[in-house]
Structure 1
Amino acid sequence: MVTTVSSTSTSAATPGNTAQTPSVWLGCMAHYNAGYLVGDWYDAAEASTVTVAELHRGTGLSPAGCEELWCYDTEYMLVDREMSPHEAQQQAEALFAVDEHLRPALRAWVASGDYVAEGDGRSDVPALGDFHDRYCGNWDSFEEYAADLVDSTGMLQGVPEEVAQHFDWKSHARELVHDYAVLDAQAPASGVYVFRSC
């Protein structure tokens, strides 16, 4: 049997938050293993600053012998899985490090699994430099991106009009797409996010 005991945190993070603030349900591992859910929702950007004493405040349970806190649930994070408070904070910091209009694309890139992580590959925290290098924008379709790429690079510049008019745009896009990750855009955006794969 599991008994739920919520702390009296002053955190603004709550389930169903409409601001889409990255949040975690932070709990005490020792009490969890003993059958008690001791914890509460916290803003992920502050997860690693929550202390054992703070988490247990108002629960009526002693924090003695409790050493480790763990994020058992997530909301609006880049990945949806359990993690340490430190990693939760890193995830939130990565999300807030990009402009707000780019956050849905960053979420999609990470969710695709076709992204570059920081460090030695044991982290799910995305390498933001790679995100910015690889992100090609939000387009109505990949074909629209491919056509823009041809125009912006001058691929057909200098080709006689009578030859250029026979350029097979659809075939070109079908070949080009193999070098990209094309991901469905997340609301409120529409179309696709385009990322270079290498």
Structure 2
Amino acid sequence: MKATVEFRIYVGTYAKYNNGSIFGSWLDLSQYPGSEAFYQACSKLHKDESDPEFMFQDWEGMPDFLISESYLSPLCFQYLDIVSDMEQHRAEAFEIYCSQIARWSADGDLDEQLQNFDECYQGYYAESATDPQLEYAYEYVDQTGMLSDVSPTVQRYFDYEAFARDLFMDTYTQINGHVFFDY
């Protein structure tokens, strides 16, 4: 299922807020082709001020690393384009990756982050009632053929829980059911 990405920002101004008003409006970023069009809509919304200082009072669907009260990342629209083409779990994983795992370069290259994400994202392992780390360990053993040359009698004694614990000590990270390879 494709991600239903709705990036919305409630845009007010500092002048209005400082005068006791939270007047503003929710703006859906998918309605704008880029930052310039978005800021033009913000200016039109607050045309009663000669030089409005926009205040992003609330937002929905926006990862916190792209926005703050007075800042909207130039990468925001590129990020929206990328995640709108992803499946829901993958879009969630990409947000986790960008906000909690990735080390951002000085130029903030989102294409580079996507490439790195593709290399380290292993998948979503919280569909069943089992522990995501244990579920991943079973799949890992199966896909690598790790026990294929071992007799079924010996295979029964393999400790998947200990193996999962070891995998996630320093090789993999699991956040909200999403598994990432630590590189």
Q: Which residue pairs with 2:106 in the alignment?
A: 120
Distance 1:170 1:194 in 2: 16
Query: TM-score w.r.t. structure 2 length?
Result: 0.70
Query: Does the Cα contact within 8 Å between 1:24 and 1:41 map onto a contact in 2?
Result: yes
CA deviations on 1:52-74 (whole Å, 9 max, x unpaired) are 5x4344656243xx276453432
Equivalent pairs counted in the alignment come to: 167
Greater relative contact order (CA < 8 Å, ≥ 6 in sequence): 2
**How far off its partner does 1:196 sit?**
1.2
Q: Which residue pairs with 1:137 in the alignment?
A: 123
Q: Which residue pairs with 2:173 in the alignment?
A: 181
1:78 pairs with 2:70: no
1:164 pairs with 2:164: no
Across the aligned residues of Structure 1 and Structure 2, the Cα RMSD in angstroms comes to 3.4
Give the residue type in structure 1 aligned to 2:178: Y
Give 2:76's match in structure 1, choosing from 84, 88, 91: 88
Query: TM-score w.r.t. structure 1 length?
Result: 0.66
**Structure with more helix by fraction:** 2
1:24-103 residue pairs with structure 2 within 5 A? 24-28=9-13, 31=15, 35=19, 39-45=24-30, 46=32, 48=35, 49-52=37-40, 54-57=41-44, 61-63=48-50, 66=51, 69=54, 71-79=56-64, 81-82=67-68, 83-84=71-72, 86-103=74-91
Query: Does the Cα contact within 8 Å between 2:5 and 2:83 map onto a contact in 1?
Result: no
